Structure formats: C-alpha cells, structure tokens
Amino acid sequence: MSRLIWLLIGYLCGSFQTGYFLGRLKGIDVREYGSHSTGATNSLRVMGTGAGILVLLGDALKAILPCVAVRCIYADNPDLMMVLLLWTGAGVMLGHCYPFYLGFRGGKGVAITVGLLLVISPPAFFIWIAVFFLVLFPFHYVSLSSISAMAFLAVLLVVLTLTGRLPVGEAVRTEVCLVGLFLPLFSIWRHRANIGRLMNGTESKLKFFTKGSRT
C-alpha cells in the first residue's frame, strides 16, 4: 500500500507542468509549438534560454521535494527507503509525462531524472550529467544526449545488480532493478519521435542562447 501511496503522491507532484504555466504567464501554450512538449528543451526553444532554465529547475524540484520527504520519513529503513524513492520517482515521471488536466500531454522526463538522481545518488547524478554533456557538446542534439544518458543509466543499473553492487538488500534488489529500469527506458520511449527525426536527419539542434521563437 505504501508503494501505491507514494506513486500517487509522485504523480500529483509530477503533474505540475512548469513549462505550461510559465507559457501561460507569457500568453502562450507551449504545447502548440516546437515539439509540443512542456519540458525544458521545448520551453527554451519557444520562450528563450531563461525560460528553459526555469523550467528545468522547476521540473527537477518537483521530483526532489517528494523524494526528500521519503528519505526523511524512512531514514531508519534504507531498503524500504530506496524502493519508495523509485516508486515515487516513477509517479513523478508519469505525472510529468501524462498530466491529467492537460489531456495527458506533458514532457519527456529528463529533468525528473535529474532531480531523482540528485536525491538518490549525487555521484550517479554527476556521471549522468557528464555523459549528457559529452554527447551534447559535439552534436548539439538534446534528444541524443538525453537518450544516451538514459541508456547509460539503464546499463549501469543492470551491471550493479548483476555484480551484486547495488546498495540494497537481496530481498528488494529485483524490485529496485525493475522499477529503476522503468525510469530511463520510459524516458527513451518518450523520445521515440526524436529518434525518428535523428534517423532521417530532421532533428533540430540546440541553440544554447536564444530569445525563443514565440517571445
């Protein structure tokens, strides 16, 4: 029952669409432009660099807050804490991607992963970020960087599980691995349209500094 409760709490937190509400403040619906996502990358392209940064921070924060609550409440039970952190993160991811009040049209979960990793494992966060930027700087495709970093995270989790280095007890190791794998694999699946554009050469490259196409 605690898993379902934290999944629901995560979903409700994730449903807050930073990009959508920021766009409304500017008089637009960000979902009607660019990739039609409410995430940080589309917000940057549509509303400018500053907006993109704000959306990234806001979306990461909505993963950080409920996960910090889990850490505080279950600090005396590390195995259950790790399980519930991942269930909460899965809920945030689902809420972010499928907000119930916006026709289930949201983002793709990259900023959610940033927030979740910051709470669960700062070292893993820095490695993930390093992979992201190592792909981004030479190619300038955010989607390719996101997919590469998510694939790395999935492989890392499998390797840690198979080698017995995952820092959880045997009783919850399989559950942690399966729920943990859901997060990067689901985000990769959410990028399926980007994968198609990358393959046919029509994916847009990132401009780091822009005033946006609709501001």
pLDDT band (50, 70, 90) for residue 167: confident
Model pLDDT for residues 84-132, shown as the tens digit of each residue: 999 999 999 999 999 999 999 999 999 999 999 999 999 999 999 999 9
Cα–Cα distances in angstroms (integers) from residue 19 to residues 54, 118, 144, 174, in the given order: 8, 21, 21, 35
CA dihedral 17, 19, 21, 25 (to 10 degrees): 180
Enumerate the domain spans of the chain: 2-200
Indicate whether 10 pLDDT > 90: yes
CA 194 to chain centre: 16
Indicate whether 215 pLDDT > 60: no
Model pLDDT for residues 36-61, shown as the tens digit of each residue: 899 999 999 999 999 999 999 999 99
pLDDT of residue 213: 77
What's the whole-number mean pLDDT along residues 20-48? 93
Of 59, 63, 33, the residue nearest 48 (C-alpha):
33
What's the whole-number mean pLDDT along residues 182-197? 96
pLDDT band (50, 70, 90) for residue 179: very high
Indicate whether 212 pLDDT > 80: no
| 175 neighbors 83 (Cβ within 8 angstroms) | yes
Structural tokens at position 13: 């937190």
Indicate whether 33 pLDDT > 70: yes
pLDDT of residue 114: 94
DSSP code for 212:
-
Q: What distance, in Å, lies between the first and last C-alpha atoms of the chain?
A: 46
CA distance 85 to 163: 22
Q: Where are the beta strands (DSSP E) in 12-104?
A: none
Rounded percentage of the chain residues whose pLDDT exceeds 70? 99
